């Protein structure tokens, strides 16, 4: 399986136009166009694609990861099952897309929620290609994969990420706030949860007060992304506050495990399920500040290297696309400037 960024096979290349060059920021290259949130960077053939939150899952394409062209959104209308599960849901506010390529098919996982509650669903859609000019291009709804229910579950079904273990079994990680990030095994169809169901907590942070199913409270963490490298599974995740412009405090943490189910430990040996997490990348810490916060990353391997995509807040309220190359030192990821 190829997950969130490995080249699948050659496709025609969309034209690149109306593009700006990236602005060099103190913590890395951040594009001024496009504006994105929760990006998943992938590559098919000679074209890079950035899928991100909003507008039915928005999509940009690029030849060089610097100049980007807008492509059609995944959804022009919400699948019928979404309104059945979330009667108050309206519009096309789908979040946090995650892409994986398996046996000739792209699997797109996405979430939507009643904002500020843990009434949420994760769905999946499939396509044979990401090239909107191809005759085979068509997103097909695969239905709901996971749901969290207000008053029943102390976890939140958002921010999905598919990872595959050494046996070829698919696992879905997801979640934010409340009582932590979860992991569950999928059936071979990659669309349904395997029975008997077993839910693992792979990351969590202490909270100052008792769980409240209408308020995520403190202990903020979200956006798990599991990436297999050599002998370890690496869990990337985001801490602290998102979505508040320059007041955001988002940052990216990491831990690793020998088994996909954990335990994930940080560099100091602290379990991520007990508040651990080594800081990998954050906003500027000294004045003048240019990048105030960054988070919700994906990791992809292509072009002979590993890459991290994320969104970041700069001096305005927009979230911009950031892309950085990863290196590995003593078994741990390092972000190169």
Q: Which of 33, 38, 153, 306 is catalytic?
A: 38
Is 159 annotated among the ligand-binding residues? yes
Q: How many residues does the chain have?
A: 337
Q: Number of H helices and number of E strands within the chain?
A: 1, 23
Is 296 annotated among the ligand-binding residues? no
Per the annotation, the verdict on 166 as an active-site residue is no
Per the annotation, the verdict on 80 as an active-site residue is no
Residue 133 to residue 11: CA distance in whole angstroms? 9
Rounded alpha-carbon distances, angstroms, from residue 45 to 11, 108, 227: 5, 18, 21
Is 38 annotated among the ligand-binding residues? yes
Q: Which of 222, 240, 266, 306 is catalytic?
A: 222
Is 64 annotated among the ligand-binding residues? no
Q: Is 15 strand, coil or helix? A: coil
Is 175 annotated among the ligand-binding residues? no
Hey, which residues does 325 pair with through a beta bridge?
Answer: 307
Q: Which two tokens stand for residue 225?
A: 């992304």
Is 153 annotated among the ligand-binding residues? no
SS3 content of the chain, % helix, strand, coil (to 5): 5, 45, 50
Among residues 228, 188, 2, 227, the alpha carbon closest in space to that of 101 is found at: 2
Is 177 annotated among the ligand-binding residues? yes
The residue written with tokens 């074209």 in the block is 47
Buried b (16+ CB within 10 A) or exposed e, 89-104: beebebbbbbbbbbee
Is 127 annotated among the ligand-binding residues? no
Cα torsion 80, 83, 86, 92: sign: positive
Hey, which residues does 107 pair with through a beta bridge?
Answer: 100, 126
Residue 317 to residue 245: CA distance in whole angstroms? 4
Is 116 annotated among the ligand-binding residues? yes
Cα torsion 232, 98, 117, 199: sign: negative
**Positions marked active-site:** 38, 222
Query: Which residue positions form the known binding site for substrate?
Result: 38, 116, 156-159, 176-178
Which residues participate in the annotated binding site? 38, 116, 156-159, 176-178
């Amino acid at each position: 399986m190829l997950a969130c960024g490995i080249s699948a096979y050659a496709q025609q290349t969309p034209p690149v136009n109306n593009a700006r060059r990236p602005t060099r920021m103190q913590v890395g290259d951040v594009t001024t166009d496009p504006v994105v949130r929760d990006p998943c960077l992938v590559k098919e053939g000679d074209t890079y694609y950035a899928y991100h939150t909003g507008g039915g899952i928005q999509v940009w394409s690029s030849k060089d990861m610097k100049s980007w062209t807008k492509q059609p959104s995944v959804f022009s209308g919400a699948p019928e099952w979404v309104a059945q599960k979330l009667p108050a849901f309206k519009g096309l506010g789908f979040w946090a897309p995650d892409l994986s390529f398996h046996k000739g098919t792209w699997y797109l996982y996405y979430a939507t929620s009643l904002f500020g509650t843990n009434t949420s669903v994760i769905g999946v859609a499939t396509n044979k290609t990401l090239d909107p000019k191809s005759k085979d291009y068509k997103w097909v709804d695969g239905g709901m994969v996971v749901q969290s229910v207000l008053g029943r579950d102390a976890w939140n079904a958002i921010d999905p990420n598919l990872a595959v273990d050494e046996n070829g079994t698919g696992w879905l990680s997801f979640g934010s706030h409340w009582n932590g990030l979860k992991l569950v095994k999928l059936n071979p169809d990659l669309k349904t949860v395997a029975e008997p169901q077993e839910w693992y907590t792979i990351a969590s942070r202490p909270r100052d007060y008792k769980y409240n199913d209408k308020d995520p409270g403190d202990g903020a963490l979200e956006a798990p992304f599991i990436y297999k490298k050599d002998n370890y599974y690496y869990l990337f995740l985001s801490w602290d506050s998102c979505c508040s412009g320059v007041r955001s405090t988002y940052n990216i943490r990491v831990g690793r495990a020998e088994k996909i189910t954990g335990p994930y430990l940080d560099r100091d040996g602290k379990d991520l399920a007990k508040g651990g997490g080594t800081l990998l990348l954050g906003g500027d810490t000294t004045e003048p500040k240019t990048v105030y916060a960054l988070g919700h990353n994906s990791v992809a391997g292509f072009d002979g290297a590993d890459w991290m995509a994320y969104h970041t807040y700069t001096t305005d309220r927009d979230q911009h696309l950031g892309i950085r190359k990863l290196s590995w030192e003593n078994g741990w990821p390092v972000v190169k400037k």
